Structure 1
Amino acid sequence: MDAFIVVMIFLTIQVFANKIISSSSLDKIQWMSLAGGIAVSYIFVYILPSLHHEQEDFGETAFELAMESELYFFGLIGIVVFYTLTKIAERHRHQKNATIKDRFFFVQIVLFFMYNTLISYIMFAADQDIEQLVFYGTAVGLHFMTVAHDMYRENSERYLLYGRYVLAAGIFIGWAVATFVPHSSVVLAIVFSFISGAIMFNVIKNELPSEDSAHLPTFVISAFTYSGITLLLKFFLDW
């Protein structure tokens, strides 16, 4: 039930992200800087240490001839796959033909549907206490909000018409698979590594604010505040 409440919050964020941003006292630049700071912190204080831990466990339990970098390789695959698909889709971004531009947007929506599905699957399949799920879910929820905002900027009409619901469906499907389908530790480790690479790529590409669209104090404060709280919680609660 706790996980179901969290996934419903994720769905609400994904569907109503632009209304949440527009109705907030923070302006859009501050929102993006806040999300970017927390996302960067999330990579360095959660994803990279977790990837290292998963690699150690993977080497002990998966194969007798396991090396020391298999999961890092799957992370590399995640970066390369999303970079390649993004570049292929972007070829059609600036086309004047409306059909081609719509095709580009559709490819993006399908890509991020899979992205949301895998992130949600990892979030809810991992062995986490509800406190961990809520705390780390804050970073993930802001990341979903940033993805939603980027999709809205690409094609606001089609995003509001169907795009946001497709992305929300990815979150729900990921939760359902994690909850009702048995999974092995090896599969979880591989999926976590792959989607970690994809998250790193998307955060660096989309969430690090550019010079003309950054609120530097918000970015710096959010990055170090989230990092500090995470390190304290790891130290005192052994997360």
Structure 2
Amino acid sequence: MIGLASLAGLALLVLVHVVTPRLRFLEGTPRSVWLSLAGGVSVAYVFVHFMPELAASQEKVAEAVGGEGTLIPAERHVFLIALAGLLTFYGLHRLAQTSRSKRAGEQVNGGRGSDMEAATSSRVFWIHMASFAVYNLLVGYLLLHREQMTLSSLAFFATAMALHFVVTDYGLHEDYKAPYRQIGRWILAAAVIGGWLLGLVTEVHEAAIATLTAFLGGGVVLNVLKEEVPSERQSRFWAFAAGAAGYAALLLML
């Protein structure tokens, strides 16, 4: 049953990658209510579900890395990994900003520049796609291997990641335009499938799952907030807050 449900979750995630760049109702300023709502759901999932799971599994990670006698307290390992995930994707975001601004002949700023037609360089595009492919590989793998393996936890995970992919796909499409539509989205869809297939044939140690989850959690937080926070987005706070509060309430009923 879990296997069939994970296949349905996989199909949903792949579909999101395929169709999101074509969803015209998400475009424009102020920011679409649906994007802000989806971002709120994603962040709520990380803080209400991911983080408690990480806290519960920190002992396994500490044992795997030899927590005793090290400079870093054992209970901090998973949160440092989450921080590493956040910093990794923040670095990628700034790399894309710098490349796009240089091509538009503007100073690097906190948004996507006044020239929305300016795209990033080919080199940065491939770096970004490779990084998000690994990100998606983790998501695909976690469809089959998470701390909690129940139908309800799978449904919440797949829903949160699908909405998160809507947010990240929209941002990647703004960054890369035609290259993302023509090849980027297919790479990311294939990566999710690859992660799921890897999960069918491989099962790693529980500490490794906790590590992957922590890194993914940090990436989710950064990738949502970088889309919501910049002032020129004119984001819908009420929609973001409603998505976060509503999904958090659902998760607390698990």
TM-score interval for Structure 1 and Structure 2 normalised by the shorter chain: 0.7 to 0.9
Q: How does 1:58-207 map to 2 (within 5 A)?
A: 58-59=61-62, 63=66, 65=68, 67-96=74-103, 101-126=121-146, 127-207=148-228
Cα distance in 1 for partners of 2:152, 2:137 equals 22
Q: Provide the secondary structure at the position in 1 that maps to 2:75.
A: coil
Cα distance in 2 for partners of 1:99, 1:40 equals 28
> Which is helix-richer, 1 or 2?
1
TM-score (norm 1): 0.84
Gaps of 5+ in 1: 234-239
The offset of 1:227, in angstroms, is: 1.0
Total equivalences in the alignment: 230
Cα distance in 1 for partners of 2:163, 2:133 equals 16
Q: 1:104 to 1:40 in 2, by over 3 A?
A: same
TM-score (norm 2): 0.79
Cα distance in 1 for partners of 2:64, 2:122 equals 46
1:226 to 2:233 alignment: no
After superposition, the CA RMSD in angstroms is 2.7
Cα distance in 2 for partners of 1:165, 1:226 equals 29
Amino acid at match of 1:55: Q
Cα distance in 1 for partners of 2:185, 2:61 equals 36
Gaps of 5+ in 2: 105-117
Cα distance in 2 for partners of 1:216, 1:6 equals 28
Q: 1:100 to 1:134 in 2, by over 3 A?
A: closer
Amino acid at match of 1:104: V
The offset of 1:158, in angstroms, is: 1.1
Cα distance in 2 for partners of 1:10, 1:74 equals 25
Whether contact under 8 Å (1:83, 1:201) holds in the other structure is yes
Q: Provide the secondary structure at the position in 2 that maps to 1:125.
A: coil
Whether contact under 8 Å (1:90, 1:104) holds in the other structure is no
1:4 to 2:11 alignment: no
Cα distance in 1 for partners of 2:142, 2:122 equals 30
Whether contact under 8 Å (2:120, 2:176) holds in the other structure is no
Cα distance in 2 for partners of 1:217, 1:186 equals 37
Give 2:16's match in structure 1, choosing from 13, 16, 23.
Answer: 13
Q: Provide the secondary structure at the position in 2 that maps to 1:68.
A: helix
